[in-house]
Amino acid sequence: MTEVPAAVPGDRRARLKARTRRSIVDAAAALMHATRGVDFTVDELAARADVSRRTVFNHFASLDDVIAAVLADAFHGVVEALEAADPPGADEPQLAVAEDAARALRATDLVPALSSLTRGLGLADWAACDDDAPANIPAHEVMLLMRSLAGTSDDLAAALHRRHPGANRLDVDLVVGSLMSSLVVLHRYWLAETGGGDDERSRAVWSALLDRMLVRLDTGGTPRASTQDSRPGNTPPRTN
């Protein structure tokens, strides 16, 4: 009779740690949705996750770290989309990296995530603007968005480096950095035009903005000429 190997204690501890961390992040996401913002305390988070306050700080250095983890989850689909397709072939490794990253961004439906994080950060009230000017998002919320994208950037850069071992790591990081920082700008314009909604028009606005960004950026991040008009997303006007 074949013996079933005993579970390794370290594996059990790792699984328990991962489950606890997941429950904290899920609880934070639920609180962000319920409060339409990030105005909740560590004690409220601990109660929602059914853990102690100390346990929260065993997994995260601050409440902002928890919120950044919630937002990072929203963007992880980009890495999943990247790894779901074979790497493109190109004579220049940097060209292949840029094409691979751009293809992943286009393949990922980010609008549900963008809409969710907009509600979660309490940004819907900041969407109102005149003449399609970008929303003036508060500095703290911008910082949280940047921190969440930093984690996604690390994962995306690591995946691209594995897929394109001939590419220089600095070139990979520069491509990813340019794309991720541009997403923050696109989010502002998308929010200004859509109010953060999750519908077909919102997807059309996001797609137009994303295409415009990718057209204007070559592999070194140098601006290119655009054939689109001066409206942020070149999309139909709002309807009341």
Whether residues 55 and 70 share a domain: the answer is no
Contacts of residue 71, Cβ cutoff 8 Å, sequence gap at least 6: 117, 120, 121, 144, 145, 147, 148, 149
| The predicted structure's pLDDT at residue 77 | 85
Whether residues 51 and 119 share a domain: the answer is no
Whether residues 189 and 226 share a domain: the answer is yes
Q: 122 versus 182: which is more confidently predicted? A: 182
pLDDT tens-digit map of 51-89: 999 999 999 998 888 988 887 887 888 889 999 999 887
Give the CATH number of the domain where residue 52 resides: 1.10.10.60
**Residues of the chain above pLDDT 90, percent:** 30
Whether residues 120 and 205 share a domain: the answer is yes
Q: Is the pLDDT of residue 225 over 50?
A: no
Q: By residue range, what is the domain housing residue 70? A: 62-240
pLDDT tens-digit map of 116-133: 778 777 777 666 555 556
| The predicted structure's pLDDT at residue 240 | 38
In a domain, 124, yes or no: yes
In a domain, 4, yes or no: no
State how many domains the chain has: 2
